[in-house]
């Protein structure tokens, strides 16, 4: 049964919303655990079943997080005269963890001799301005919130018609300004700076979530559902064909096709959000999704070091077990530990 959509009375801790967060975070952990990088996580063979799943969820994982963020934002949008206070809170929630974890990673890899080496202040632009690992999402989301506050002050999404225009505009921008185009227009440094490329790409999903929350009861649900199902089927079919053609390339990866990303991602996220469901186990993980997002890569990395150190097979049952423990359980331990003191709550978790 479709979930009823009392958008203005829903709450951010709605179990159905937390269930979607749970789906997204478990898919993200699985993505980094079963890796195409032979030196990280549990390597998967190009062309295998796990590789197929790895690629099929590529256009849903982070877009689903972003859609939920847009939906939750619309429950408590920025109010007139409170823009700076809203942005201050988002800075604390997103950027304090970003700077803290990026700094810790920089020094760790410097002393381990992997990747980064300290070369003075010139390193700052690489570790803080350009995307690093999974933390790029915090940069991109901060840009999205900044733009949304501007749009709200202009009244650009006050009505359903205006929202449709904004949604069409940001979707067109995401389609047109793909990676090669952005680099050609803005240079590599500017296009990748502060994850601008990813922010442009993810903005349609945030606006989608906002619109479903704010105007969901006024949208033609049946018509949009049929359209979304058709778009999803066509997009997944195209994605499968491209996967079968390109899986055996030298890198073992499949090149991103922005039009298919929008077809699959927007349609799937609309259906998941509109017909969301409650599943208590997923909701439990969803309530802890932010901390799992912050620390799961560290846990998987440490698990792989343990697998290599103990001489286990990198693709065996022990590797999978330790990887899951590292990716899911270590973040819970760190969540508990960092909540103990006020300063770690603020600078590591972005909490008050």
Residue predicted with more confidence, 72 or 9: 72
d(CA 180, CA 144): 21
Closest CA to 11 of 247, 198, 287: 287
Which of the listed ranges 8-22, 25-39, 162-176 does the model predict with the highest average pLDDT?
A: 162-176
Percent of the chain surpassing pLDDT 70: 88
Residue 121: phi and psi, rounded to 5, are -65, -20
Neighbouring C-alpha atoms within 13 Å toward the C-beta of 202 = 30
Residue 319: pLDDT band (50, 70, 90) is confident
If we measure between CA atoms, which residue out of 106, 140, 114 comes closest to residue 40? 114
- Whether this model's pTM surpasses 0.85: yes
Residues 5 and 273 sit within 8 Å (Cβ to Cβ): no
pLDDT at site 104: 87
Do the beta carbons of residue 123 and residue 116 sit within 8 Å?
yes
Mean pLDDT score of the chain, rounded to an integer? 85
Mean pLDDT for 282-292 is 96
Question: pLDDT at position 219, please?
Answer: 93
pLDDT level of residue 113 (50, 70, 90 thresholds): low
pLDDT band at 287 (very low <50, low <70, confident <90, very high): very high
Q: Which helix (H) or strand (E) holds 34?
A: strand 34-35
- The model's pLDDT over 196-208, given as tens digits with 9 standing for 90+, comes to 889 999 999 999 9
Interatomic CA distance for residues 209 and 216, integer angstroms: 10
Per-residue pLDDT band for 10 (boundaries 50, 70, 90) equals very low
The domain limits of the chain are 32-279
**Predicted confidence band of residue 301 (pLDDT cuts 50, 70, 90):** confident
């Amino acid at each position: 049964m479709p979930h009823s959509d009392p958008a203005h009375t829903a709450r951010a801790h709605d179990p159905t919303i937390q269930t979607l967060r749970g789906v997204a975070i478990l898919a993200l952990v699985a993505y980094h655990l079963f890796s195409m990088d032979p030196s990280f996580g549990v390597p998967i063979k190009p062309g295998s079943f796990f590789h197929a799943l790895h690629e099929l969820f590529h256009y849903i994982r982070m877009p689903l997080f972003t859609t939920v963020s847009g939906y939750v934002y619309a429950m408590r949008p920025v109010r007139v005269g409170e823009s700076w206070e809203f942005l201050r809170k988002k800075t604390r929630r997103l950027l304090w963890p970003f700077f803290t974890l990026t700094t810790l990673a920089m020094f760790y890899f410097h002393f381990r001799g992997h990747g980064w080496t300290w070369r003075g202040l010139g390193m700052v632009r690489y570790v803080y301005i350009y995307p690093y690992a999974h933390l790029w999402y915090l940069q991109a989301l901060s840009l999205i919130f900044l733009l949304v506050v501007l749009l709200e002050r202009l009244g650009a999404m006050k009505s359903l018609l205006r929202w449709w225009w904004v949604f069409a505009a940001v979707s067109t921008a995401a389609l047109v300004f793909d990676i090669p185009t952005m680099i050609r227009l803005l240079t590599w440094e500017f296009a990748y700076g502060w994850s601008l490329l990813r922010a442009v790409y993810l903005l349609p999903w945030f606006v989608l979530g906002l619109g479903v929350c704010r105007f969901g009861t006024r949208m033609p649900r049946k018509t949009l559902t049929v359209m979304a199902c058709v778009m999803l089927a066509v997009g997944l079919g195209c994605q499968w064909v491209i996967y079968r053609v390109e899986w055996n390339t030298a890198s073992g990866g499949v090149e991103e096709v922005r039009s298919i990303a929008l077809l699959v991602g927007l349609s799937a996220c609309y259906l998941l959000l509109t017909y969301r469901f409650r599943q208590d186990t997923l909701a439990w993980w969803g309530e802890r999704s932010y901390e799992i997002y912050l620390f799961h890569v560290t846990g998987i990395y440490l698990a792989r070091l343990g697998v290599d150190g103990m001489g286990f097979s990198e693709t065996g049952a022990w590797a999978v077990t330790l990887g899951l423990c590292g990716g899911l359980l270590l973040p819970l331990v760190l969540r508990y530990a960092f909540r103990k003191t006020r300063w770690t709550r603020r600078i590591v978790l972005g909490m008050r």
